[in-house]
Structure 1
Amino acid sequence: MKYAFNQISLYQYILIIFETQVGIGVLSLPRDLAKTGGSDGWISIVLGWILSILVSLVVIQVMNKNPESTIFELLTQYFGKWVGKGLSVFWILYAAYAASVVMFSTVYLVKLWIVPGMREVILMLLFIIPIYIITKHGIRVIGLFAEFVLLISLWMPFLLLYALKDTHWLFLLPIGKDGLYPILSTVKSTILSFLGFEMAFILYPFLKDKKSASKGIVIANSLSMMIFVMVTVISFVRFSPDEINDYVYPTLNLLKLIQLPFLERLEIIFLCVYLFTLFMTIIPYLYAAVLGASQLFGKQDHRTMLRVVMCLWFILPFFFLPSGSQINDMGKSWGMAGTYFAYVLPIILWIYGWLFHPARKEQKQ
């Protein structure tokens, strides 16, 4: 039990995966689905959910054979020192890139919707401070932060339900009007939104109740699916099929339509609180990257690597500041990388482990 000092409960395990998945996808997913799937795009979410659950269970099966190892230690055990470390470098870069994409997206969102006059460097510094404080304390504090984020976010789904006023449910009909192909082709758009379940590769060794890992990851994926379907369906019935394509973040535009007698600019308040959920997408990926880099160099303390990443994030806006279209392209490339690291790699490891593990046990005997 080498991670016994830093264990997380099943509840925290579920919340970390769920909040990592929800992140930025809730804000932009309806538009992405409407582009290719039209009003049937919500069906693709259900198909993406089924796919993510199947691959998630494969991840758990892989980790069941190596309960005390993270993905980085596992790769070395399976493929040897040099190949394993080479694959670990790619996984670390993937996690660091995912955290960076969400970080830049968060800075862009806040500047666009809340403080258009503020410099990006200042925003980056303001976000780096809390992210560093939480990440440096390890997975146990990240689990506690995930519980806090849930508590302050419970009112958000009910607020979106208020947007159902003056909706047109006929926008969803007829279901399947364009056939099966647009629905299946739109599943690619849901891959980015369901990314986050691969965090089980990192979380599993820290999980106290490992027997419930499969149940926990199914619950996390299912919660994400329900939120995605709710937000997408509300957007589809509130905006016309053509109108929704005009909005980059339809969820925030939904909130602009809600009129309360005692409150204006509801979307700003929503986004300010939602920042914590965005942090819960950044932090697990960031922790995975710095933990992997530390293990790669044989270091026990991940904080040194964390400080290096924080410095790079602060310096980067002085040299590279992505525009909205560039952030969108970065998100697509993250989704493409995610298909390999989150969907393809677990299957390869499962097949390899199924062939390799019995042979290794025989050699030990």
Structure 2
Amino acid sequence: MMNVQGKQISIVQYILLIHGVQVGVGVLTLPRDVAEKAGTDGWIGIIIGWFIATITSLIIIQIMKKYPNGTILDLLKHYFGKWAAKVGGGILAVYFGLLALYSFITEAMFIQAWVLPRVSIFLLLILLSIPSYLLVRNNIQIIGRYSVVVFLMTIWILVLYVYSFKEGQILNLLPLLKEGWQPVVKTLKISIIIYVGFDIAFYLYPFLEKKENASIGVVIANTITMIAYLIITLGAFVVFSPDEITKFNEPTITVLKVIELTFIERLEIVVFAFYIFVMSTKVLPLMFVSVFSTSWIFGKVDHSKPLFWFLVISVIYVLLFPPSVRMDLILAKEIHRISYLFSYVFPICLWGYVLIHGLMKRRSLN
């Protein structure tokens, strides 16, 4: 049984931790990505992706109910034994570590591209590592509080995208399903990957104060993410024509250029400066989960040393292999493939095993 005393998180922190992990740099290119597959009908795929992600999230909660006082690592130990759990923990540590590393580097790349073009990625990663270490070395409760603060501090960004509707043409969205459902189905490869992050519920569940709210919590988290994606995507669709939107690399930022405020000249730069905090709410929990898994494998409570080495390795990696847009696209493609497996296939397979195991155990007792 885990000792969660003094580390418990509220339902609000639980919701915003999951939501924060789901929203990262991918939202900056989302309108273009779905438009390339289904034109202005791409927003429909976001809703379908929400449904699939929510069902999978609820399956994760049902799994964790079987072992409520531990994380997925403790559950694996309970069902498969100590050594199988260590192997599984190592795989999960590597998976979440890769997600954290990719998000960390991509965050630095976007900061360089939009805010500090003359600063090297290597230096940006060093600067980002300092606050990351100070936050992640603590327990998940601290990161949860940080996610709440960032959410409240940046919620006004969505208001800007709602405001952008008046600058566009709502007729760009019509007619619905112009080419039928086939193009919308093609967007599912994108629209289910944008919700990846709900699987940290495997780790958050034992820390939740009122576990009976876990299911509604993941539903609310996924719904907040869906609403944010829909507002941003629809805002870009009504501002740009169906053909024009695919010509922008980051239409989510470009759409802000149509909004004119008398007291701000470059609104998109101000918004992106705040969005850096939003991207950090994706990176930090992923770091925590990765180093937490590493510490669990070696039976350690303190995860500050694995965190330190994770950050050092991240900086060395950037120094040896300077990131580029081409490398980022290749890495993103491979990580997306892995994410399909760990976020969707793994929970369903584990749920099936747990159900069969429980059924066989009841039959043996009878």
Match of 1:357 in 2: 358
How far 1:94 sits from its partner (Å)? 1.0
Match of 1:106 in 2: 107
Hey, which bits of structure 1, 4+ residues long, moved more than 6 A?
A: 361-365
Equivalent AA in structure 1 for residue 354 of structure 2: G
Matches of 1:32 and 1:364, distance apart in 2: 53
Match of 1:62 in 2: 63
How far 1:162 sits from its partner (Å)? 2.3
Do residues 53 (structure 1) and 61 (structure 2) align? no
User: For this pair of structures, how many residues does the alignment match?
Assistant: 365
Q: Identity across aligned pairs (percent)?
A: 37
How far 1:151 sits from its partner (Å)? 1.7
How far 1:88 sits from its partner (Å)? 2.1
Match of 2:130 in 1: 129
Match of 2:193 in 1: 192
After superposing the two structures, state which structure 1 stretch, 324-333 or 107-116, moved more.
324-333
Match of 1:92 in 2: 93
Matches of 2:151 and 2:186, distance apart in 1: 33
Do residues 211 (structure 1) and 217 (structure 2) align? no
Equivalent AA in structure 2 for residue 263 of structure 1: I
After superposing the two structures, state which structure 1 stretch, 118-127 or 82-91, moved more.
82-91
Match of 2:311 in 1: 310
Matches of 1:359 and 1:36, distance apart in 2: 45
SS at 1:241 equivalent: coil
Matches of 1:358 and 1:165, distance apart in 2: 57
SS at 1:46 equivalent: helix
Match of 1:175 in 2: 176
Equivalent AA in structure 2 for residue 325 of structure 1: R
Match of 1:282 in 2: 283
Matches of 1:297 and 1:101, distance apart in 2: 25
Do residues 252 (structure 1) and 269 (structure 2) align? no
Q: State how 1:336-351 maps to structure 2 within 5 Å.
A: 336-351=337-352
Normalised to the residue count of structure 1, the TM-score between the two structures is 0.96
SS at 1:93 equivalent: helix
Gaps of 5+ in 2: none
- RMSD, matched Cα: 1.6
Gaps of 5+ in 1: none
Match of 2:162 in 1: 161
After superposing the two structures, state which structure 1 stretch, 244-253 or 70-79, moved more.
70-79
How far 1:137 sits from its partner (Å)? 0.7
CA contact (8 A) 2:76 2:88 kept: yes
| 1:72–1:364 distance in 2 versus 1, CA, 3 Å | farther
Matches of 2:362 and 2:145, distance apart in 1: 38
How far 1:166 sits from its partner (Å)? 2.9
How far 1:4 sits from its partner (Å)? 2.2
Matches of 1:165 and 1:358, distance apart in 2: 57
CA contact (8 A) 2:150 2:278 kept: yes
| 1:4–1:358 distance in 2 versus 1, CA, 3 Å | farther
Match of 1:265 in 2: 266
Match of 2:324 in 1: 323
After superposing the two structures, state which structure 1 stretch, 153-162 or 350-359, moved more.
350-359
How far 1:364 sits from its partner (Å)? 9.4
Equivalent AA in structure 2 for residue 244 of structure 1: I
Normalised to the residue count of structure 2, the TM-score between the two structures is 0.96
SS at 2:13 equivalent: helix
SS at 1:262 equivalent: coil
Match of 1:10 in 2: 11
